[in-house]
Amino acid sequence: MKRIEVRLSLAVVAPLLDVIKAAADSLGDGLAAPNRLADIEPDFRSEWRSELLAAQNSEVTQLLALFDKEFFANGVIAFDRENAEPVVRACAAVRLKLRERHLTGLDEDLLESGDVELEALPEPARKAFMCYLFLATIQELIIQHLDSSILES
Q: What is the per-residue burial (b if ≥16 Cβ within 10 Å, else e) of 56-93?
A: bbebbebbbebbeeebeeebebebeeebbbbbbbbbbb
**Which pLDDT band holds residue 30 (cuts at 50, 70, 90)?**
confident
User: pLDDT value at position 149?
Assistant: 55
Chain segment 75-127, per-residue pLDDT in tens = 999 999 899 999 999 999 999 999 998 888 887 877 777 777 777 788 888 89
User: pLDDT value at position 153?
Assistant: 47
What span, in angstroms and rounded, lies between the C-alpha atoms of 31 and 12? 29
Average pLDDT, the chain: 86
Chain segment 61-73, per-residue pLDDT in tens = 999 999 999 999 9
User: pLDDT value at position 54?
Assistant: 92
Q: Quote the DSSP letter at residue 68.
A: S
**Residue 18 is part of which domain span?**
4-151
User: pLDDT value at position 59?
Assistant: 96
User: pLDDT value at position 38?
Assistant: 66
Could you tell me the pTM of the whole model? 0.86
Higher pLDDT, 36 or 3: 3
Q: What percent of the chain has pLDDT over 70?
A: 91
Residue 43 in this model has a pLDDT that exceeds 80: no
What span, in angstroms and rounded, lies between the C-alpha atoms of 128 and 142? 21
Domain count, the chain: 1
